Amino acid sequence: MGDSIEGLAALVTGGGSGIGLGSAKVLLADGAHVTICGRTEDRLIAAVAQLEPLVTSTGSIRHIVADVTDEAQMEAAVATACGPTGGLDILFANAGGSFHMGPFLDADISAVRATIDVNLTGTIISIKTAATAMAASGGGSIIGMSSGAGHFPHRYLWAYGAAKAGIEMACRYAAEELASAGIRVNAVQPGIIDDELMEFITAGGALLDDYLAETPAGRVGTVDDVAAAVRFLAGPGSSWITGEMIAVDGGHHLRRGANYGLLFG
């Protein structure tokens, strides 16, 4: 058996692009039944078209439109993910985003609330709905999406960072509580990743230079770097790991956070 995930059922939130799509590719190629969800159906349909060639004899791919901040929609997403096998084995709670950037004193509180809602509340709802299904079918693995910004300060990225820090603590609480049901809960903390979300930085400029100067490995990360960590946490090879936050950042956490003030001149 080793680290096989063949025939297991997985749900990836925010699976239509970026790290979510990259992780879905790895899970699918390794034989899982993968369901991706997100808010934009056109994006999900395009993602499924990319993923279909990777389907193996033990797996399958499907999508469902769902907003992680809506509990009923996430219950429907979990039910869809359970369809192929009758249970759920893997959740990658990847959906998130940032609607606020800038100083505390200038903060648009509605944007701060939206940032907290999609990241922290959305992850809590995802964990609740997925863990309910996992507990009924013997357990599983949940992976949350944090960020280096949730672990150490990145100037002017505090709303996003605070939401991600909340995800980390929610994952620790869930890991402690759900272990008796056979459910492991961990999270990844990516650094700067060359994907759609961060392309306004990775295209070049002072902020990218700042990131690279504070990253010992000296390069931008890739979607595949994070997907590999997600795959490890999803499979039985990490069966005695729970409540852990894994930095996937080329060592950025060993230095200081990025200065997003460089975007403001």
Give the number of residues written for the chain.
Answer: 265
pLDDT of residue 2: 87
- Cα 250 to Cα 257: distance, rounded to the nearest angstrom: 13
pLDDT at 265 over 80: no
Give this prediction's pTM: 0.98
160, 173, 211, 260: the catalytic one is 160
Pairing of strands 9-13, 60-65: unpaired
DSSP three-state, residue 244:
coil
* pLDDT tens by residue, 169-194: 999 999 999 999 999 999 999 999 99
pLDDT of residue 232: 98
Domains of the chain by start residue, with CATH: 9-249+255-261 (3.40.50.720)
Residue 160 annotated as catalytic: yes
pLDDT at 1 over 70: no
Spatial contact of 258 and 210, defined as CB atoms under 8 Å apart? yes
